[in-house]
Amino acid sequence: MKVFLDTKILVATFATRGLCADVVRLILADHELLVSPAVLEELARALRGKLHVPETTTQEVVAFLRASASIVEASEAPPLDVRDPDDAVILGQALANNAEVLVTGDKDLLDLAAMPGLRVLNPRDFWQLARKPSKP
């Protein structure tokens, strides 16, 4: 499965040892992780600014993701009715790069109507989906 992660999920992955970290490990092991340069830049800003992570550690996190994930092209936001323009950008990047799942904790994105080909899930729902045994 091609899985796009929003910045908040990545921040939680590297800031805590919880569900988000487990989700990223699962994606890296069994699926294709998609991230955009914009998400990586926002992640670096959040780690440095909000969490006061040292610059060298922040650079290591970004380098790890660049080596482990598929870096996708930026795209224009789709003409969808979303409250936050940043959400439209994330959604557009996921759609334009054929992600099958967008994992987010953003309520506005989670409340969107179904979109063909893209499931928008919170980390718990993705975990349950990915861990479900496949039918023979």
Residue 125 in domain: yes
| Structural domain boundaries enclosing 65 | 2-131
- Predicted model pTM: 0.88
Domain count, the chain: 1
Q: How many whole angstroms separate alpha carbon 136 and alpha carbon 131?
A: 15
Q: How many whole angstroms separate alpha carbon 98 and alpha carbon 82?
A: 20
- Per-residue pLDDT 10s for the chain (136 aa) are 999 999 999 999 998 889 999 999 999 999 999 999 989 999 999 999 999 999 999 999 999 999 999 998 766 655 566 777 777 788 888 888 889 999 999 888 888 767 788 999 999 999 999 987 765 5
DSSP string covering 41-95: HHHHHHHHHTT---HHHHHHHHHHHHHHSEEPPP-PPPS---SSHHHHHHHHHHH
Residue 136 in domain: no
As given in the structure block, the two tokens for residue 91 are 């959604």
CATH of the domain at 109: 3.40.50.1010
Residue 78 in domain: yes
Task: Please give the torsion angle defined by the CA atoms of residues 104, 51, 72 and 66, in that order, rounded to the nearest 10 degrees.
Answer: -130
Q: What is the pLDDT of residue 55?
A: 95
